[in-house]
Amino acid sequence: MFTATLPAHSFKKIMQCISSVVMEADLKVTQEGIKFTTMDPSHISMINFHMGKEHFEEYFLDGETSLGLDIDEIRKVMNRSSADEFLTLKADPGDNRLTLEFKKRDSKRVRRFNLVIIDAIGSENEKGEKYNVPTLDHTAHIEIPAYVLEDAIKDCNLISENIVFEANPPLLLIHTQGDSGTTLTEIRELLKYEVKEKCKSSFSISFLSDLCKFFDDSVKLGIGTDMPIQINFSLENANFTFIQAPRVEREA
């Protein structure tokens, strides 16, 4: 049996964030908290999520379990929540359903949804092995305010479907070019800047454009030349790691 309670608005933001990358996830419920690692269907991006049990108002588990979640269906249910409600998640391994209960602290009224637990895709590779966050040998590790990165991504999204991250000491450059023109952001608001050598990679902007709305406080970037980008950030006491494969130009 699994039961956990937290503010509904917090879980709503978390589900909105996750749904910007994947529609299904195999949630691991452990004595330490809840977590998952999964890839989007195109295998371009990976998202890792973890929320420790200390961030729940109540957390009870009598045995570790896995819950296959339809993130889009949960997101729809969470959109029915109000800011002053608390959410209680309940799951019984023998029931094959996840229960979401909404209740205001001083109210006797309870609203309840029962959602089917699914066989989620994207949590295993072709060999049936669970995905883990890879260790990437980035040449640049940079931390910047979240709003700075969000602004740069939004600027690039006006011009092109692609975005370039370039560590060029002493700056971080984010830029792109398209049929209508170019845009460049020179970032000096650097909370951390460890760059072994200049590096540059290009990425499709679609995932980043959706995800950047949920960046909060500061964002940690791992960058290398023609390497996947790694973005670490927190949201509502949950920790996220997002990894996206680069666009590599091929010679004709």
| Percent of the chain topping pLDDT 70 | 98
Residues with Cβ < 8 Å from 40, sequence gap 6 or more? Answer: 21, 22, 46, 47, 122, 207
* Topology agreement, domain 2-116 and domain 140-244: no
CA 206, CA 146: separation in Å to the nearest integer?
Answer: 18
CA 214, CA 93: separation in Å to the nearest integer?
Answer: 32
- CATH T-level fold of 140-244: Proliferating Cell Nuclear Antigen (3.70.10)
- Tell me the per-residue pLDDT of 64-84, one tens digit each, with 9 for 90 and over: 999 999 999 999 999 999 999
Residues with Cβ < 8 Å from 136, sequence gap 6 or more? Answer: 222, 224, 227, 228, 230, 243
CA 213, CA 77: separation in Å to the nearest integer?
Answer: 20
Kindly report the CATH class assigned to 2-116. alpha beta
Domain boundaries, the chain: 2-116, 140-244
Q: Tell me: pLDDT of 252 over 50.
A: no
Quickly state the pLDDT bin for 251 (edges 50, 70, 90): very low
